[in-house]
Amino acid sequence: MNLPTLYLIPVTLGDSPIDQVLPPYNTRIISDLQYFIVENKRSARRFLKKCNPEIDINALTFYELNKHTLKEEISTFLTPLHSGQSIGVISEAGCPAIADPGADVVALAQNEGYKVVPLVGPSSILMSLMASGFNGQSFAFQGYLPIDGTERVKKLKQLENKVYQEDQTQIFIETPYRNDSLAEDILTHCKGQTKLCIAMNISCENEYIVTKRIKAWKQNLPKMHKQPCVFLLYKG
Strand partners, 217: none
- 102 binds its own copies, rule: CB under 8 A: yes
Q: Are strands 87-90 and 35-38 parallel, antiparallel or unpaired?
A: parallel
Subset of 46-85 contacting its own copies (CB under 8 A) = none
> In the set 86, 132, 179, 201, which binds its own copies (CB under 8 A)?
132
Subset of 206-225 contacting its own copies (CB under 8 A) = 207, 209-212
Cα angle 27-47-51, degrees, rounded to a multiple of 5:
30
As measured in angstroms, the least distance from the Cβ of 59 to its own copies is: 26
- 98 binds its own copies, rule: CB under 8 A: yes
119 with 88: CB under 8 angstroms? no
- 194 binds its own copies, rule: CB under 8 A: no
- 3 binds its own copies, rule: CB under 8 A: no
As measured in angstroms, the least distance from the Cβ of 105 to its own copies is: 8
55 with 49: CB under 8 angstroms? yes
Beta strands, E only, the chain: 5-9, 35-38, 61-64, 87-90, 115-118, 139-144, 169-173, 195-200, 208-213, 229-234
Q: What is the phi/psi pair of residue 202, to 5°?
A: -60, 135
From residue 111 to residue 130, the character string flagging contacts with its own copies as x (rule: CB under 8 A) and all else as - is: x----xxx-xxxx-xxxxxx
- 203 binds its own copies, rule: CB under 8 A: yes
Residues binding its own copies (CB under 8 A):
8, 17, 19-25, 95-100, 102-104, 106-111, 116-118, 120-123, 125-143, 168, 197, 202-203, 207, 209-212
